[in-house]
Every structure is written in structure tokens, then in C-alpha cells.
């Protein structure tokens, strides 16, 4: 009898210890995972009862929580939802979070460790938990100008303040309205999610930072930077630039878009080659420098690195081991060169900032509900892409592109603009991508812009970076400069 009781007692102790061990494990190691599960409705109900902090541009909320008369207590709302959707993302009971709503979630819902003192005060004063506000770097006028410019088109615009890396505009179109995903009628939210994901225009795709495109001739800025930095070229160095450039290892030549030599010469200067965007000249430079020099230069501008952790941008790419024909194609932004609009804005901004590429950022600062500063983002240098001397040479060449070359539609009265056009070929069944990247004023840059048009619903022969993308960049630059 005593033996049976002892066995039962031992079994009970083992079960209790196992229960304690499991509880401790769940609390210590699995709490965050379990709390973050989409099927954990208890946590979601609790979060939706928190007065979530606003997302601000200046003092204007573009996302905020308002009292609700249903069981969730607060309704997340988005002013001008599609305009800012690629930045704010959404806050949904069913589908979780995206964008700033995801990256800054712990600040916005007030649970971040940096807000522990605020939570203690709330407990003492018997006040409901309230999230912190997140201020963004966006310029409202520039954001609106970019959004309006992309009306009726598929594309993206990114604008950066060259000296700091502040993102002044980030637009992707077609866009979507986050309000339809933040609603409390869960059947309607599910139906909206289905519609958005089945839409062939992909409105929830963030073309500005999460899609990769061939940059075309805008990449010639990187090739020019590599050439000038090598010490073997100056802006006045003459480069072999015939109508067709025979390539080794293939019978397919590299040709200029207009079927003629560069500016009336088979040996144009580097400045003239950039002005007229001559493929053969930059193919010649690519073959002379080799792929390693081009890749190293691209990486100094940020290729191969993921930027904007606030939104989870993808890394732009330069091909790993191209052969000679592929290297010539890569030098003009074709073959397997792929870039985000953000990356090409960084190229322009780096040149504008004397060769110093600043780390781009969107979150300016975080403040508690009573306006006490929690954090403030400080500008940070990412890479010295080129020397100040080379940056000055590139700037002069880009000014020439806008004044005398393919970038004329980007000119602003009374302001010197530096820019580069691009028209990137894809496949016969798809239209080319139209690009323009620029900065202004050239002598004291306040804004750098990249515009990419994926589809403008125009005839293939009418697609060009100068005619489609440059006017949009012009309006964004004017908005920042107050023109």
C-alpha cells in the first residue's frame, strides 16, 4: 500500500515539475512568438483596446486611432489612405500589420521597453495605456506631387534629402486604401483583402522599394563614376562610340538607340556620351574597366545592401560573374543589373552630396503622448561612393544632360538641375521602363529624385525617360524647393 502511494506521489511530483518547466519555458522563450501569432485572438483583442499612437507628418496625423462603438474600442483610420499606404502600411485585425505600422508597432501600441516609465506613470495615475507618436521625414507637398504625377500609370517615385538621407517622398502606384483592411467588419475586410490580392495591377506591391527593375541608362552614372574614379578618364576623355560596337564572344553588337554614332563622332567625350546616353561609349568603358570595377562602384552607392528597415526594402543587384558581352550590357544598366527606385535616388543623392551616400531613413522621431522625446534619428553616412572631385565632375555632366541632352524636360526655371534619363528594355511583350534621376539645385542640392514608370499606357515608341519620368521629377523637386 505504502509502495503504491509513493509511486503515485512521485508521479504527481514529476507532473508538477513538468508543468512548471513548461510554464517557465513558455513565459521565458515562447511568449513573444505566441503573442505574435495571428490566431491568438486574446492578444489581438487586447491590442485593439489600446489607444494606438498616431503616425505624423509634421503635426498632421496620416494614421491615428479614434474611439469606436464596437467591441474593439478603437478604430484605426488613415487620412488620404492611398497616398501614404506604401509608407504607413495597414493595421488589420485579421491580416496583421505592414509598413510603419509593423516596424514601429511596439512604439505605437506603447509596449516598447523605451516606454516603460510612461507605462508606470499610467498605472499610478490609473490611465489607460496609450501609444507613442511616430514622426516621419516625408514632405507632404512632394508626396502629393509624386502621387499626382503617377496618376494613370504604374510606377514609383522616391525623393531624398542628399545631406541627411531623409526620405521626402515615397510613392507607389497603383496604390490601395488601408482603411478597408483596418475595418471591424471582418467579412468586409476579408473580401477587400481578396480583391486587392486578385487585382492584376498589384496595388499592394511597393514598387518604390520592394520591386527590382533594370535601371537602364540611369546606371550610366555608376559606370561614369567608376571611369572617373579609375584615374583613366576625365569628362573630356574621348571614348570609342560608333553606331554599333562589336562585342567579343558573340555576333550580336551593342547598338545606340538612334542607330547613329555618338553626337556625330565615333569618338565622343565622356560628357557628350552621357549627354546623348550613348550605349556604345559606355559599353566600351565597361569592357575596359571590367565587371569587378563596376560592381565595386555600384556597391559603394548601396547596391547589394538592404535599406530602409522601416519598410524592409530589398537589395539592388549587380550580376555576380558576367562575361564580356554581359559586362558591356551591364555597363548600360541592362543584362542582370536590377535596382529599386530608392537605390537610383541614392545614386543621385550621393553625387549631390559630394560623393557621400547617406543612409536613407523615414522615421524622424518617436514621442510619448505627453510629447516627451523617446528617440530621434540622426543622419548617418553609409559610404563614400566617389571623391568630392569626381562628384563635382559628375554633377557638371548631369547638368549638361538636362541643359543640352535627353533630360531637357526636367529643367526648372531659375534653378540648375542635374539629371540622367533612362529607358530600360525588358522583353518584346512588355513595354520598356522609363527612368529619370536628378537633384536640384545643382550647386546646393536640397532634393534628389528617382522616377520609374513601369507602364504609362502609351505606345511603345513614345516611352522614354525624358518625356515620361522627367516631368514628374521636375514637379517633385519644385514642391520641395517651393517653386
Catalytic residues: 217
C-alpha 227/C-alpha 281 separation (Å) is 12
C-alpha 197/C-alpha 333 separation (Å) is 31
CB neighbour list of residue 89: distance below 8 Å, 6 or more residues apart? 97, 98, 99, 100, 101, 102, 178, 311
User: Strand 133-136 relative to strand 55-57: parallel, antiparallel, unpaired?
Assistant: parallel
Does 298 sit behind a cis peptide bond, omega within 30 degrees of 0 on the bond before it? no
Q: Which three cell numbers stand for residue 27?
A: 513565459
C-alpha 449/C-alpha 436 separation (Å) is 8
182-188: Cβ within 8 A, 24+ apart: 182/75, 182/76, 182/77, 182/78, 182/90, 182/91, 182/92, 183/75, 184/68, 184/70, 184/72, 184/75, 184/93, 186/93, 186/94
Q: Which three cell numbers stand for residue 161?
A: 534629402
C-alpha 368/C-alpha 108 separation (Å) is 9
Kindly tell me the burial class for residue 308, based on how many C-beta atoms sit within 10 Å of its own C-beta (0-12, 13-18, 19 or more). buried
C-alpha 437/C-alpha 450 separation (Å) is 4
Strands (E), 93-181: 96-97, 133-136, 154-160, 167-173
Amino acid at each position: 500500500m505504502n509502495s503504491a502511494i509513493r509511486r503515485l506521489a512521485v508521479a504527481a511530483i514529476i507532473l508538477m515539475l513538468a508543468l512548471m518547466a513548461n510554464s517557465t519555458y513558455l513565459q521565458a522563450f515562447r511568449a513573444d512568438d505566441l503573442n505574435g501569432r495571428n490566431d491568438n485572438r486574446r492578444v489581438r483583442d487586447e491590442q485593439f483596446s489600446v489607444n494606438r499612437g498616431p503616425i505624423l507628418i509634421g503635426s498632421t496625423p496620416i494614421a491615428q486611432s479614434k474611439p469606436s462603438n464596437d467591441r474593439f474600442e478603437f478604430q484605426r483610420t488613415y487620412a488620404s489612405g492611398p497616398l501614404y499606404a506604401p509608407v504607413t502600411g495597414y493595421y488589420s485585425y485579421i491580416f496583421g500589420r505592414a509598413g510603419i505600422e509593423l516596424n514601429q508597432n511596439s512604439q505605437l501600441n506603447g509596449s516598447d521597453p523605451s516606454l516603460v516609465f510612461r507605462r508606470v506613470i499610467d498605472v499610478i495615475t490609473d490611465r489607460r495605456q496609450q501609444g507613442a507618436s511616430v514622426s516621419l521625414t516625408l514632405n507632404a507637398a512632394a508626396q502629393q506631387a509624386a502621387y499626382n504625377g503617377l496618376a494613370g500609370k504604374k510606377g514609383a517615385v522616391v525623393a531624398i534629402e542628399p545631406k541627411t538621407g531623409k526620405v521626402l517622398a515615397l510613392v507607389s502606384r497603383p496604390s490601395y486604401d488601408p482603411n478597408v483592411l483596418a475595418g471591424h467588419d471582418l467579412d468586409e475586410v476579408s473580401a477587400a483583402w481578396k480583391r486587392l490580392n486578385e487585382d492584376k495591377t498589384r496595388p499592394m506591391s511597393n514598387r518604390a522599394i520592394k520591386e527590382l527593375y533594370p535601371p537602364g541608362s540611369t546606371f550610366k552614372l555608376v559606370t561614369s563614376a567608376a571611369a572617373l574614379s579609375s584615374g583613366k578618364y576625365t569628362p573630356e576623355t574621348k571614348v570609342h562610340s560608333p553606331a554599333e560596337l562589336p562585342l567579343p564572344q558573340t555576333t550580336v553588337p551593342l547598338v545606340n538607340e538612334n542607330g547613329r554614332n555618338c553626337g556625330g563622332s565615333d569618338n565622343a567625350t565622356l560628357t557628350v556620351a552621357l549627354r546623348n546616353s550613348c550605349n556604345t561609349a559606355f559599353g566600351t568603358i565597361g569592357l575596359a574597366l571590367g565587371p569587378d570595377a563596376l560592381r565595386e562602384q555600384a556597391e559603394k552607392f548601396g547596391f547589394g545592401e538592404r535599406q530602409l528597415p522601416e519598410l524592409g526594402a530589398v537589395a539592388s543587384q549587380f550580376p555576380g560573374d558576367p562575361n564580356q558581352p554581359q559586362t558591356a550590357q551591364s555597363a548600360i544598366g541592362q543584362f542582370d543589373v536590377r535596382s529599386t527606385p530608392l537605390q537610383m535616388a541614392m545614386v543621385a543623392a550621393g553625387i549631390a552630396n559630394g560623393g557621400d551616400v547617406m543612409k536613407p531613413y523615414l522615421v524622424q522621431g518617436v514621442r510619448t503622448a505627453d510629447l516627451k522625446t523617446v528617440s530621434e534619428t540622426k543622419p548617418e553616412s553609409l559610404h563614400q561612393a566617389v571623391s568630392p572631385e569626381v562628384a563635382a565632375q559628375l554633377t557638371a555632366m548631369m547638368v549638361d544632360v538636362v541643359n543640352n541632352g535627353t533630360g531637357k524636360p526636367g529643367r526648372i526655371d531659375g534653378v540648375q538641375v542635374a539629371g540622367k534619363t533612362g529607358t530600360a528594355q525588358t522583353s518584346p511583350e512588355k513595354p520598356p521602363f522609363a527612368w529619370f534621376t536628378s537633384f536640384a539645385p545643382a550647386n546646393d542640392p536640397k532634393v534628389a529624385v528617382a522616377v520609374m514608370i513601369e507602364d504609362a499606357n502609351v505606345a511603345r515608341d513614345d516611352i522614354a525617360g525624358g518625356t515620361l519620368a522627367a516631368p514628374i521629377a521636375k514637379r517633385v523637386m519644385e514642391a520641395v524647393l517651393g517653386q
